[in-house]
Amino acid sequence: MFEISLDRVTWLHRVPAGVKLAVLALAGAAVFLVADHRVLGGFVAVALLLPLSARLPVRAVARQSLPAAILIALLAGFHVLTSEPDTAIEVSARLATVILLAVTLTLTTRVSAMVEAIETAARPLRLVGVDPAKVGLTLSLAIRFIPVLFALVSEIREAQKARGLEGSVVAVVMPLLVRTLKMADDLADAIAARGYDAE
C-alpha cells in the first residue's frame, strides 16, 4: 500500500502530483460515462501503457493491483453467470482503468506531494471554514497508519491465539480499540510537541 518506486526517477515521477490526480479523477469519471467497448478498450490500453512507458517495475504494479484484480474477476464472473456478458466487460474495463491509473499514481508520487496537491485543491474550502492543512494532515496520517493498524491487528491476534482465544472477535476488537485510542492520544501529543498548531 502506497509504496513508491524510487529506484529510477521516470517521466511519470516528474509530472506534478496535482496533474496526475486531476487526470485520475477525470479519467475515472469519463470511463463510467462511456459504454462503447472500443472506447473502453482504449482506456484500458492507455492505463496499461502508462506504467509500461515509464518502465515501472512490473512486479510492483502487479502486486498492488492484485487484490483489485481478484475483485474484478469475481464481479465479471458473477455477471457472466447471470448472463450479462456486456456488463461483465464494461465493469471489468472501468475498474481496471481506475485501478491501474491509481497504482501508477501511487508508485510515482510521494504522499507528501499528493497531500500538498490536495491541500491546494482544498483551498476554496476555507470559505466554508475547512482548514486545508488539516485535510492534508488527516490524509497523511490515514495513509501512514494503515500499515501500523495491520501490524497491530496481527500482533493482537497472535497474542490471543497464544491464549487459545483465536475464535473470539471480542478478544481482538477490545484490545485493538484500547490500543488504537491510546495511540491516537499519544499521536496527538507528538504532533503538538512537534510544533503543529491546531488553530
Partner 1 sequence: MIEFDQVTMRFGELTVLDRISLSIAERRVAVVGANGSGKSTFARLLNGLIAPTDGHVRIDGLDTVKDARAVRRKVGFVFQNPDNQIVYPLVEEDVAFGLKNLKLPKDEIRTRVDAVLARYGMEHLRTRPAHLLSGGQKQMLAISSVLVMEPAYVVFDEPTTLLDLRNKRRVTRAIAEMPQTAVVVSHDLEFLEDFERVLVFEGGGIVCDAPPAVALPFYRDLMASVPDV
Residues near partner 1, by CB under 8 A: 2-4, 6, 110-112, 137, 140-141, 143-144, 147-148, 151, 183, 186-187, 189-197
In the complex, what is the shortest distance from the CB of residue 6 to partner 1, in angstroms, rounded to a whole number? 5
Q: Indicate the residue among 75 and 152 with the shorter CB distance to partner 1.
A: 152
Smallest gap from Cβ 63 to partner 1, in A, equals 14
CB 12 within 8 A of CB 56: yes
Euclidean distance between CA atoms 111 and 193, whole angstroms: 22
Pick 76 or 117: Cβ nearer partner 1? 117
Residue 2 or 18 with smaller CB distance to partner 1? 2
Q: What's the closest the beta carbon of residue 147 comes to partner 1, in angstroms?
A: 4
SS3 of residue 195 by DSSP: coil
2/44 with CB nearer partner 1: 2
Cα–Cα–Cα angle for 26, 94, 67, rounded to 5 degrees: 110
- Please name the residue ranges forming H helices in 82-131: 85-108, 111-121
Question: Which of 40, 19, 22, 18 is closest to 31 using CA atoms?
Answer: 40
- Least separation in angstroms between residue 61's CB and partner 1 is 17
